[in-house]
Copies of this chain bind each other. A is one copy, B any other.
Amino acid sequence: MKNLSLKQLRYFEALALHSHFGRAANACAVSQPALSVQIRDLEISLGAKLFERGARRARLTSFGEEFALRVRLILRSVDELSELALASRDRLVGRLRIGIIPTIAPYLLPAIIGNMTRMHDGIDLQIRETLTPQLVEELIEGRLDAAIVALPISEPSLTEVTLFEENFVLVRPDRDAGKPVPNRKALREMKLLLLEEGHCFRNQALSFCNIASSRPREILDASSLATLVQMVGAGMGVTLIPEMAIAVETRSAPVSIARFSAPQPTRTIGMIWRKTSPLSKQLIEISEIVRQSAAALEPCDQALAATPDTLAQQP
């Protein structure tokens, strides 16, 4: 037994409307026999007559009327499907799940969320903040659509786009503000406070100092940059933070910021997503929004650049 088709339902609706095979066929832009046969097949597959064929007109049986009610609803729902597709063709729609590493999130998120909701109104933006390996795993498993991390990730299944480069700056107690900026070697002898194991920023800082991350040191690990800065303010040592964090984190502690000379420590922040993601087009667009959001934070950087060696920031 053949299955009923949408085409049959559309023919049926037309015939129910026109009560006339010829006119209904015309409305469907097909020949009369085409419609006749489809209606007949529909009735056969239903096992019930839908129309009563009179000499002058075809009228619905009571079953046909019952049927027509439901068919109308179904066809309208199907039409809505196409409309839905049309509406969400270029516009980003629905849920978008983005992961961000903790050493970026607090500083970039407000701007990102603001710009995203402004440019893609009605989007359901879900943010997940956690460490890079976790983000990559969730991304690969399809539990995230994209992630903002430090590059490179070097997962072959992921696309990476660079968002921006950011320098690290030295954070030291206020009383050290005037002192010369230590070089990498000198830094190695100082009490360097770091984030706890797992943060990519920890390894990036260590690698700048040429310290093997495995090497045992008398360091107190913190779980956030905010804590690190507070620890520095309390005179427990020095630390590095991404320049993006300066504005937020140094406001509430008696610390001074110093930019390193020449071979500045730096890292590349980028966005990653599955190569197979059908959102690629939109994600590239989103990466541009993120890039602009980050650039809008630059003024603070400019200020730093103006006083290349040291810069004190007071609460």
Contacts and interface: CB of A to CB of B under 8 A. Distances in A.
Interface of A: 3-7, 46-49, 51-55, 59, 61-63, 65-67, 70-71, 73-74, 77-78, 80-82, 84-86, 88-89, 93-96, 142, 145, 157, 274, 276-279
Given A52-B276, A66-B94, A82 B7 contact: no
B6 A3 contact: yes
Nearest to A86: B47
B78 A74 contact: yes
Nearest to A74: B77
Nearest to A95: B62
A82 B274 contact: no
Given A80-B70, A277-B52, A62 B6 contact: no
Nearest to A145: B62
B84 A66 contact: yes
A65 to B, nearest CB: 7
Given A47-B89, A63-B94, 12 more contacts: A5-B7, A48-B85, A48-B88, A48-B89, A48-B278, A52-B142, A52-B278, A54-B276, A63-B88, A65-B95, A66-B88, A74-B81
Number of copies: 2
Contact of A52 (B48, B84, B274): B274
21 contacts: A3-B7, A5-B6, A5-B7, A46-B81, A46-B82, A46-B85, A48-B85, A49-B278, A51-B278, A52-B274, A52-B277, A52-B278, A54-B274, A62-B93, A62-B95, A62-B96, A63-B88, A66-B93, A67-B81, A70-B81, A74-B77
Nearest to A62: B94
Contacts of A77: 70, 73-74, 77
A contacts with B: majority SS: mixed
A53 B277 CA distance: 8
A202 B6 CA distance: 55
Nearest to A73: B77
A96 B61 CA distance: 10
A164 B219 CA distance: 109
Q: List the 8 closest A-B pairs by CB distance, nearest first.
A: A49-B278, A46-B85, A62-B94, A62-B95, A47-B89, A74-B77, A48-B85, A59-B142
A66 to B, nearest CB: 6
Given A49-B278, A276-B53, A81 B6 contact: no
B89 A81 contact: no
Contacts of A71: 81
Contacts of A157: 55
